[in-house]
Amino acid sequence: MRTTDTAPSAPGALPLIGHAGRLARDGLGFLEELRALGPVVRIRLGRTPVHVVNAPDLVQRMLVAGNGVEFDKGGPFFDQAAQLVGGGLSTSLAGPHRPMRAALRPVFTRHRLPHHTERFRDCALEVTSTWRSGQAVEPYTEMKHYAVAVLARTLFLAPEDRQAVEAVLRNVPVMLSALATHMMVPGSNRLPTPENLRNARATRETRAAVAAMVRRRMSDPTDHHDLMSALVPPDRPAAHTDQEVFDQVITFFIGGTETMASLLSWTLHLLSRHPRAYERLEAELDDVVGDRPVTHQDLSRLTYMRRVMNESLRLHPPVWLLSRVALVDTELGGHPLPAGAGLLFSPYALHRDPAVFADPERFDPDRWSEDRVDRRQREAFIPFGAGARRCIGDTFGLAEAQTALAVILGGWRIRPRPGGGPEPLLRMTMGPQGDRLVLDRRADRAPDGGAGVLPGE
């Protein structure tokens, strides 16, 4: 196929860096401008041309029908992540991905959720037990502690793994922060910066901890029905090498930490600024859960909470930018693409398209009510991606977020601290930087969310 590039070019490319500076400086504004230029727009990152896909139907084609045939994981930003966890689920290519996903799927089946929900609740109570009335907290940091604790308690269930998991927990934030720098500043992974030295140490320690966990599990005949049992199956303990297990463990910590913290902290931020929605959600919680501990059965009845979370995910999708690569010569929206072409698409820009979402900047949870939501909105709403590479932790993550919100809002009232709102911090995920919320314990509630544990205040 001849591949004359017919997609319109974005203006403002600079010599050498192209649009990379603009993307790093004002990524969200830039992506929204690109959306206005057409369904497929060409930009340059350094010297490399990249196509940005803005039309929901074309994104769906790339992710669903075209996945593994015309398009695969790859493209800008991908290589850095692949360098850290090349063999993990998220960075594997279409061929090896399928059996890997099938092997890990059982860890996330629905019937495990009631049990997981109890752990979610314990972890949320643990985080909130350190809070004091009148205190201002940074929700993004608090919710990262929650997300990390949840992964440790739900994916690594053998009590003997505790020491190794603690080493992983200590080191993963160092590795994530270095990875974010490497993605934003190409070439920075090769410099002997203090961050890179810390990263090298953290990676070494984590490898050793995971290897110790693997060795122990290899001689453990029990199926703990957790991530480690899927990776080191008791009947085939040598199914995966230490390196493969390391890649998966880090992949799950990367996938499930900042995303969850971002969803929860943006949701708390939005509620603190929208008193009517807040009151309505509190009333729903009082009605469905009341004074007792929240259970898995409650979650499906918290329908307004789900709308609030959807609206939070629409306005502030934690994963704001994703990439793919064309496997073969193909086309999108009538524009030819050569094999190897890099593609970008942005859940953030798709979720704020005024052609799909009326009044897109408005926080309006009821746009997700059954009578208002339509097919085009569902197609454009991709906070968890779509198709075979859709987030494996989607249902788990939604239950995790709902449980945390039920515990937090059941026990506390939150209000914004006077001053400016948060700025989105653009890394692999998009967290609310600099947000502070003031907490007041709800006088009408037991301090432990009904769990029977009194935090020592």
Nearer to ligand HEM, 252 or 357 (CB): 252
Question: Is the Cβ of residue 93 or residue 218 nearer to ligand HEM in the bound state?
Answer: 93
What CA–CA distance (Å, rounded) separates 430 from 316?
7
Q: Are 67 and 387 in contact (CB under 8 A)?
A: yes
Letter for the amino acid at 292?
R
**C-alpha distances in angstroms, 143 versus 37, 53, 148?**
37, 32, 9
In the complex with ligand HEM, which residue's Cβ is closer, 348 or 384? 384
As a whole number of angstroms, the distance between CA 327 and CA 91 comes to 15
Output the six-digit token pair for 83.
Answer: 């360098």
- The C-alpha atoms of residue 252 and residue 231 are separated, in whole angstroms, by 12
77 phi, psi to nearest 5 deg: 75, -20
Could you tell me the smallest distance in angstroms from the CB atom of residue 100 to ligand HEM?
8
- Separation CA 188–CA 451 (nearest Å): 47
Q: Which of 112, 89, 97, 98 is nearest to 225 (CA)?
A: 112
> E strands within 308-374?
322-326, 330-332, 335-337, 342-345
Measured from the CB atom, the residue of 87 and 447 that comes closer to ligand HEM is 87
Q: Least distance to ligand HEM from the beta carbon of 136, Å? A: 24
Question: Closest distance between ligand HEM and the C-beta of residue 302, in Å?
Answer: 16
Pairing state between β 423-426 and 335-337: unpaired
Minimum CB separation of residue 36 from ligand HEM in Å reads: 23
CB of 342 to ligand HEM, least distance (A): 13
Give the C-alpha separation, 78 to 321, whole Å. Answer: 11
Minimum gap (Å) between residue 385 Cβ and ligand HEM: 3
CA dist 312 and 270 (Å) reads 7
Is 368 or 450 the residue whose CB approaches ligand HEM more closely?
368
Nearest approach, Cβ of residue 154 and ligand HEM (Å) = 8
Q: Which is nearer to ligand HEM, 87 or 397 (CB)?
A: 397
Nearer to ligand HEM, 120 or 357 (CB): 120
Q: How far apart are CA 246 and CA 416, in angstroms?
A: 40
Nearer to ligand HEM, 68 or 333 (CB): 68
Largest CA distance in the chain: 71
Tell me the CA end-to-end span of the chain in Å, nearest whole number.
Answer: 70
Q: How far is the CB of 32 from ligand HEM (least distance, A)?
A: 19
Q: Which residue, 43 or 313, is less far from ligand HEM as judged by CB?
A: 313
* Least distance (Å) between residue 231 CB and ligand HEM: 12
Binding site for ligand HEM (CB under 6 A): 89-90, 101, 251-252, 255-256, 259-260, 263, 318-319, 322, 383-385, 389, 391-393, 396-397
CA–CA distance, 260 with 197 (Å, rounded to integer):
28
Residue showing the smallest CB distance to ligand HEM in the complex: 393
Output Rg (C-alpha) for the chain, integer angstroms.
22
* Whether 396 contacts 109, CB under 8 Å: no
